[in-house]
Amino acid sequence: MKEYASVNKEMLAELEAVLGAEYVLTAADKLEQYKTDEETDPRMFHLPEAVVLPGSSEEVAAVVKLCNKYNVPVTVRGGGTSLADGAIPVCGGIVLLMERMNRILEMDTTAMYMVVEAGVRTIDIQKRANEAGFLYAGDPCSAESCQIGGNLATNAGGNKAVRYGVTRNQVYSLEVVTPTGEIVEVGARLKKCSTGYCMEQLIMGSEGTLGIITKATLKLQPLPPYRFDLLAVFDDPVKALDVVPKIMQAGLNPTSIEYMDNSYVRSTADYIEFKGAPHYEDGIYVIITVETFTEDELDLKMEKLDELCEAAGAIDVLEADDRIWSMRRNCQESVRLISLVSLTDDVVVPVDKIAETIKYIMQVGEKYPFPVKINAHIGDGNLHIVLCKCDLTDEEWEKNVAAFHNEVYSYAYSQGGRLAGEHGIGAKKLAYMEAYTPAGELELMRKIKLAWDPQLILNPGKIFNA
């Protein structure tokens, strides 16, 4: 493991000279705020030595140059909603906050694009696009608190991925500060391009290890005016999951297909205090959204969807109103009602393997001493498995979590899956990344990291051991 220097007085003085003293924080209570992200296990927390708030790409570049000069690591933080310990400064050093870089710089509705700074909240981008009659199709459930820079760095998915793809599909180009402190533009506002390496795609999903994203040019889509959200309730997970390929094969082009097991139906209904949630006791929810440009098309698709769900064995088919979506959006928070410490997983498998994978996990889960909860973006093969520590000791928890993960990850890889579909690897899954990634692929990643960041300054201790 590489040794880093501590932040010293000279470095702090240089940071203050670049940013202004009010944007360099070292007070204990401030540092305390940035020792974790969404991580709930205190053993994973790590205090930074200083927190900085640059206001421009030039200031970000100057901070990175100083980190290289003083051999101090820097961890970028967007909204701090990482579920993979991505924003925790696991090697100490500096946490760099993007929150001052929060401007929407340009919106062109003729050419359908938007230019934003990386610290803009995702929901503000969505709202601005909607107000103009357009859609920004990136839609993680955390949109109210995460930033677009964090979405780009993790290649976030979300509720519209079935139809529109994930964050990397919404981007034309990026402005990035490299690990050595240069400001570069990567990508271009083109429909097609085969002009050298696709650098913007390499940076997206690199979790702040290959560059600090400072600006992005995002694609806009026309906003479909007609929408219907359907809730199909099942009493058997196999039937619930078997409906997915039928919807896709029927060409209904849904925007989302989401799954909540019964334990989530209960915990989210309790969490949002929704008395009378449909089939609270035994229902398994599949929420399907269809959006269209004409009313007739919507009617036809809804009729077909209703037919497919009933034929698949749904015990009830209803309209999914805002309360049902609120349940879905609050899956993560509702876990706190059951356990203060929990672990959220993010396995992804080919879409046609998701039913078998969920069945396997439910079966395996029965052997373990913790509750296992499952929600999933089933339309894109992405499962969120949540394990609740409840009153297990640290030792019992660690031993059982490791055994459970090894069973589940081995199975997922045997089905052609991967460790993370949207949350990234962060520090949380680094050991598993090393264990499960094919050696040749991991070696290529290491070579890229070392070539771009020879001093290993950017977000060390994340994804793999460089």
Per rule CB under 6 A, count of chain residues that contact ligand FAD: 37
CB 430, min distance to ligand FAD, A: 12
Does 150 participate in binding ligand FAD (rule CB under 6 A)?
yes
- Asked whether the beta carbons of 292 and 329 are under 8 A apart, the reply is no
The torsion angles phi and psi of 100, rounded to 5 degrees, stand at -75, -20
Kindly identify the residues of this chain, within the stretch 100-139, that bind ligand FAD according to CB under 6 A: 118
The first and second tokens of residue 342, run together, are: 């929990």
Yes or no: say if 427 and 88 are a contact pair by the CB < 8 Å rule: yes
Which of 51, 72, 91, 98 is close enough to bind ligand FAD by CB under 6 A?
Answer: 98
- Considering only 57, 68, 126, 151, the residue that binds ligand FAD (CB under 6 A) is 151
What minimum distance in Å lies between the beta carbon of 229 and ligand FAD? 16
Question: What are the residue ranges of helices labelled H in 100-217?
Answer: 122-131, 148-154, 161-164, 199-203
Site for ligand FAD in 445-464 (CB under 6 A): 459, 462
φ, ψ dihedrals at 289, nearest 5°: -110, 130
Is residue 422 within the footprint of ligand FAD (CB under 6 A)?
yes
Q: Considering the complex, state which of residue 242 and residue 270 has its C-beta at the smaller distance from ligand FAD.
A: 270
Structure tokens given for 395 = 């030792």
Dihedral, 176, 181, 182, 186 alpha carbons, nearest 10: -20
Query: Closest approach of Cβ 146 to ligand FAD, in Å?
Result: 3
Contact with ligand FAD (CB under 6 A): which of 57, 68, 126, 154?
Answer: 154
CB of 122 to ligand FAD, least distance (A): 8
- Dig out the tokens for 315 from the structure: 């015990």
Q: Which stretch binds ligand FAD (CB under 6 A): 28-36, 153-161, 223-231, 308-316?
A: 153-161
Q: For residue 9, what are the CA distances in angstroms to 70, 180, 225?
A: 11, 22, 57
**Cβ atoms within 10 Å of 29's Cβ, excluding its own:** 7
* Contact in structure between 168 and 204 (CB atoms under 8 Å): yes
If one asks whether residue 156 binds ligand FAD (CB under 6 A), the answer comes out as: yes
d(CA 439, CA 266): 42
CA dist., res. 390 & res. 172, Å (int)? 44
Kindly tell me which residue out of 80, 89, 237, 283 binds ligand FAD, with binding defined by CB under 6 A: 80
Least CB distance from residue 438 to ligand FAD, whole Å?
A: 23
* 39 scored as a contact of ligand FAD (CB under 6 A): no
What are 406's two structure tokens?
């090894």
Give the burial string for 42-81 (b: 16+ CB within 10 Å, else e): eebbbebbbbbbbbebebbbbbbbbbbebbbbbbbbbbbb
Nearer Cβ to ligand FAD, position 204 or 312? 204
Q: Which of 318, 314, 313, 290 is nearest to 302 (CA)?
A: 290
- Nearest-approach distance from CB 223 to ligand FAD, in angstroms: 20
Q: Is residue 218 involved in binding ligand FAD (CB under 6 A)?
A: no
Residues 157, 179, 187, 237: which binds ligand FAD (CB under 6 A)? 157
258 neighbors 240 (Cβ within 8 angstroms): no
User: Looking at beta carbons only, is 101 or 298 nearer to ligand FAD?
Assistant: 101
> Which of 15, 64, 146, 361 forms a contact with ligand FAD (CB under 6 A)?
146
Q: Which residue is nearest to ligand FAD (CB)?
A: 150
Is 59 a residue that touches ligand FAD (CB under 6 A)? no
Least separation in angstroms between CB 180 and ligand FAD: 15
92 touching ligand FAD, by CB under 6 A: no
Binding of ligand FAD by 147 (CB under 6 A): yes
Q: Assess contact for 237 and 314: CB atoms under 8 A.
A: no
Residue 172 contacts residue 95 (beta carbons within 8 Å)? no
Region binding ligand FAD by CB under 6 A among candidate stretches 3-11, 72-80, 265-273, 393-401: 72-80
Instruction: Give dist(CA 3, CA 43) in Å, integer.
Output: 21
Site residues, ligand FAD (CB under 6 A): 37-38, 75-83, 86-87, 98, 118, 140-142, 146-147, 149-151, 153-154, 156-158, 207-208, 212-213, 332, 422-423, 459, 462
